[in-house]
Structure 1
Amino acid sequence: MDKTRKVKVKVEDLTIVFGKQKKQALKLLDEGFSKKEILEKTACTIGINKANFEIHEGEFFVIMGLSGSGKSTLLRCLNRLNEPTSGKVFVNDEDITGKNNKELLEVRRTEMSMVFQKFGLLPHHTVLSNAAFGLEIRGEDKESREAKAQKALDIVGLNGFEQQLPAQLSGGMQQRVGLARALANDPEVLLMDEAFSALDPLIKAEMQDQLLELQDTLQKTIVFITHDLDEAIKLGDRIVIMKDGVIEQIGTAEDILTNPASDYVKAFVEKVDRKAIITAGSLMFEKPTVVRFKKDGPEGALRKMRASGIDILPVVDLHDHFFGFVHINEVIQSAKRKEPTVEAIIHANVPTVSKEVTVEEMLPLISEVRSPIAVVNEHNRLLGIVTQTSLIIEATKYNEEEIIELKEQANNQ
């Protein structure tokens, strides 16, 4: 996540206790008692246990966990549909936990909109009227609210359905109406509570794709709740994993998969298809030994190979622009011929990738060449290399057929 972006939402030591003896429960929580022990002693349930995080402007922030983990409870604290027992929530640097009801209503109407799992459409209102409903409550005149609602319906692809009733629409289309209603308010923050979980898998995938397309255009700050890890990975810039009201880990999908913060997180993500998540940036060897074009001739290249114990080296210029790879047998022959440079033996027709390219996308490349895969930036400067061995090691986390195929490809080169 781009840390230079403004912090849109900030949560500090947010705790929610359900029950009558809240003060006693908070005291026990501070003393280190578990959720189960507090329930036994006070009949109070700890919904959220001292949550702390920041959400940046334009970030797609996913909160996930199993049923009872506290994810929806946490989301509803952000607009105070659930009242925090202690701690603070800041929106645009303003503490909304201290706002009165009138001020809070204004926040909900202008800064945050919510999309629920159950569409919540008014059955006897048209699609246009449903999309404009929040603006009607806000007090906007009919012409203004319908114009804004129409624009929102156009965005979600419901142009032409304005006069239909909800019962005439599919589940996916009804959810689009709910999304349009939220967008019509032009919120700064969009809160989505398991918005797609009630949809059929195919429609769910389509809605996920559409939401990502909308985010590319609108760049809203989105807080999205799900119990589906695949959905979280597909949508989220960063993911929060919760258990029993506690935040177990916050990070990108790659952070969580490569460095799980607890045994719970490790177990939670162990069945994820890592090929689609792990990137060249994670696997690459930074600052590899290189041959400097023109500066290092065949003798210099050979000396570096022997010193490093590596038979294939990348070739770059003085500014680290990548040219290709040289192989030790050809370097030895070039040195015997006393050639002044390695130019004639550079393998230039080799694949390069950016740091964001996944293992899944790199796997086909290793059957094409004998070289490692060069990782470069947009200016073709070498950032590191991904060896075929590291890809195969990563592949051992996949199924047996893939492992055998990859080993055979490597052995045949």
Structure 2
Amino acid sequence: MGKSAGEAVAPVFSVRNLWKVFGPKADRVPASDELAALSPEELRERTGCTVAVRDVSFDVRPGECFVVMGLSGSGKSTLVRCLTRLIEPTAGTIAIDGEDVGGMDKGALRDLRRHRAAMVFQHFGLLPHRTVLDNVAYGLEIQGMGKAERRAKAAEMVTKVGLAGMEGRRPGQLSGGQQQRVGLARALAADPEVLLFDEPFSALDPLIRRDMQEEVVRLNRDEGRTMVFITHDLSEALRVGDRIALMRGGRVVQCGTPEEIVGSPADDYVRDFVRDVPREQVLTVRRAMRPAHDAGEAATGPALSPATTVADAIEAVARTGHSARVVDAGRCLGVVDSTSLLGVVAGLDKAKDVGKDVGKDMGKAKNEQGFHTGGFEEKTAA
């Protein structure tokens, strides 16, 4: 499990002032204040260059699922490829566990991609003539691991992703969701520190996609796998992410927990993006809390954790007919009632600091409570 946001932990990935510019003399763009300030249209007209990633900075904490989301052309897929230099950044720094990725030679990069940060792509890339077991073991074979050891490791991963009994099948005998599970098992077999997902479930049917999202949540929760997850789908981002970096035009316009993104949008673009999100499914009772008026009120009613969603709190209040206590480590932080809870649903709550020290725990809690998004769709420009 990842540490809470308030704890000082060294990041797995640390990205600072990252640029990726395509075109002639691309390196001139971030080096020039004048060019860097131009709009995408002005920059293309003046230099012939296209900025895919523009001055992006963020950290990925151990054990968290960090989601980078945005519509088509926002720069998210370019960004994740820069992390392991599948695409060479134009400027800025990337470090993994404090080690400069930009300074790695070919051997170190190969080790990074094979052992430390494994990529799971939308297109599975399975070898059609190999069985499930041999596809999962393929990366270990390339690494030179002995046959018995790699097959045993592959069998363990096949079971972990829910494909036990299918080891002898070939990709053509599997559904799309099963093929994606094989791809995930192959990445897991290398036991990487970080899993990098580049829109891995975009081509899957909705129900299968939901199953795979739950698989990602389970791996993150049960094994503490650090993940960077790229998606254009807001519902997917809210479901799997501990924190979300929302991109537009190569920039990160807001980075925060799902609750921060939905409850306190940074600008009109983000506000419009999350407009149709059922707030009660994402926001927690911290936004609806008020002080207990007296000791009697603090002693009655159901007890809820601070990470309880407003939807679950409404159900508890309706069922008991009493205000609910928000309790953390045996201490009553405040109370919520039907009026304050419905105010959050209606968007009448004042923007509150939802607490940086509990941001990670809130992200986890929504997954552990069976979070769902009510079937809302992202606004796609693709």
Please classify the TM superposition score into its range, dividing by the shorter chain length: 0.7 to 0.9
CA contact (8 A) 2:195 2:227 kept: yes
Cα deviation, residue 31, structure 1: 4.9
Q: Structure 1 residue 383 and structure 2 residue 333: aligned? A: yes
Q: Structure 1 residue 24 and structure 2 residue 7: aligned? A: no
Residues 31, 152 of structure 1: CA spacing in aligned structure 2 closer, same or farther, 3 A cutoff?
closer
Out of 80, 88, 100, which is 2:85 matched to?
Answer: 80
SS in 2 for 1:36: helix
Instruction: Show the counterpart of 2:312.
Output: 361
* Counterpart-to-counterpart distance in 1, 2:172 and 2:189: 21
Instruction: Map 1:332-343 to 2 at 5 A.
Output: none
Out of 134, 148, 153, which is 1:148 matched to?
Answer: 153
Choose 1 or 2 for highest CA Rg. Answer: 1
Q: Structure 1 residue 245 and structure 2 residue 250: aligned? A: yes
Cα displacement string for residues 259-286 of structure 1 (whole angstroms, at most 9, x for unaligned residues) = 111111111111111111011112212x
RMSD of Structure 2 on Structure 1 (CA): 1.7
* Counterpart-to-counterpart distance in 1, 2:344 and 2:70: 26
SS in 2 for 1:159: coil
SS in 2 for 1:98: coil
Identity among equivalent pairs (%): 45
CA contact (8 A) 1:29 1:38 kept: no
CA contact (8 A) 1:28 1:38 kept: no
Instruction: Show the counterpart of 1:395.
Output: 345
SS in 2 for 1:250: strand
Cα deviation, residue 159, structure 1: 1.3
SS in 1 for 2:27: helix
* Counterpart-to-counterpart distance in 1, 2:294 and 2:269: 41
SS in 1 for 2:196: strand
* Counterpart-to-counterpart distance in 2, 1:355 and 1:281: 6
* Counterpart-to-counterpart distance in 1, 2:178 and 2:71: 27
* Counterpart-to-counterpart distance in 2, 1:244 and 1:138: 39
SS in 2 for 1:172: helix
Residue identity opposite 2:307 in structure 1: E
Residue identity opposite 1:70 in structure 2: G
Instruction: Show the counterpart of 1:194.
Output: 199
Question: What are structure 2's unaligned runs of at least 5 residues?
Answer: 349-382
* Counterpart-to-counterpart distance in 1, 2:322 and 2:136: 56
Cα deviation, residue 368, structure 1: 4.0
Instruction: Show the counterpart of 2:354.
Output: none
Tell me whether 94-103 or 212-221 shows the greater mean CA deviation.
Answer: 212-221
CA contact (8 A) 1:189 1:221 kept: yes
Residue identity opposite 1:233 in structure 2: L
* Counterpart-to-counterpart distance in 2, 1:256 and 1:41: 35
CA contact (8 A) 1:61 1:237 kept: yes
* Counterpart-to-counterpart distance in 2, 1:386 and 1:260: 23
Cα deviation, residue 30, structure 1: 5.6
Q: Structure 1 residue 314 and structure 2 residue 297: aligned? A: yes
* Counterpart-to-counterpart distance in 2, 1:110 and 1:98: 18
Residues 181, 369 of structure 1: CA spacing in aligned structure 2 closer, same or farther, 3 A cutoff?
closer
| Total equivalences in the alignment | 343
* Counterpart-to-counterpart distance in 2, 1:368 and 1:266: 33
Cα deviation, residue 249, structure 1: 0.6
* Counterpart-to-counterpart distance in 2, 1:23 and 1:107: 25
* Counterpart-to-counterpart distance in 2, 1:198 and 1:173: 13
Cα deviation, residue 107, structure 1: 1.1
Cα deviation, residue 247, structure 1: 0.3
* Counterpart-to-counterpart distance in 1, 2:320 and 2:174: 52
Instruction: Show the counterpart of 2:303.
Output: 352
Instruction: Show the counterpart of 2:370.
Output: none
Residue identity opposite 1:24 in structure 2: R
* Counterpart-to-counterpart distance in 2, 1:103 and 1:363: 53
Question: What are structure 1's unaligned runs of at least 5 residues?
Answer: 292-312, 316-322, 325-349, 399-413
